[in-house]
């Protein structure tokens, strides 16, 4: 059986759908987080593209990805 290769995913940060700073953000669907919550999809590396003005949101999303 061939050895599986690491999966690299590219994503675009969605400042509307991915947004949220309080704990209520966990009660709604966020596409970037949803991608990482798929039990049958093991992502080895995730490259998130975003505009500089959304750096803070990107950091929040990165922390949320680490939690899931």
Structural domain includes residue 31:
yes
Q: What is the model's pLDDT at position 4?
A: 82
Give the confidence band of 47 by pLDDT, cuts at 50, 70, 90: very high
**Does some domain include residue 1?**
no
Distance between alpha carbon 7 and the CA centroid of its chain, in Å? 14
Strand partners, 9: 46
Domains held by the chain: number: 1
The reported pTM is: 0.85
CA atoms lying within 13 Å on the CB side of residue 3: 2
**Structural domain harbouring 62:** 8-67
């Amino acid at each position: 059986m061939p050895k599986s290769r690491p999966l690299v995913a590219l994503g675009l940060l969605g400042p509307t759908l991915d947004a949220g700073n309080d704990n209520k953000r966990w009660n709604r669907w966020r596409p970037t987080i949803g991608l990482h919550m798929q039990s049958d999809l093991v992502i080895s590396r995730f490259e998130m593209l975003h505009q500089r003005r959304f750096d803070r949101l990107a950091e929040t999303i990165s922390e949320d990805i680490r939690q899931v």
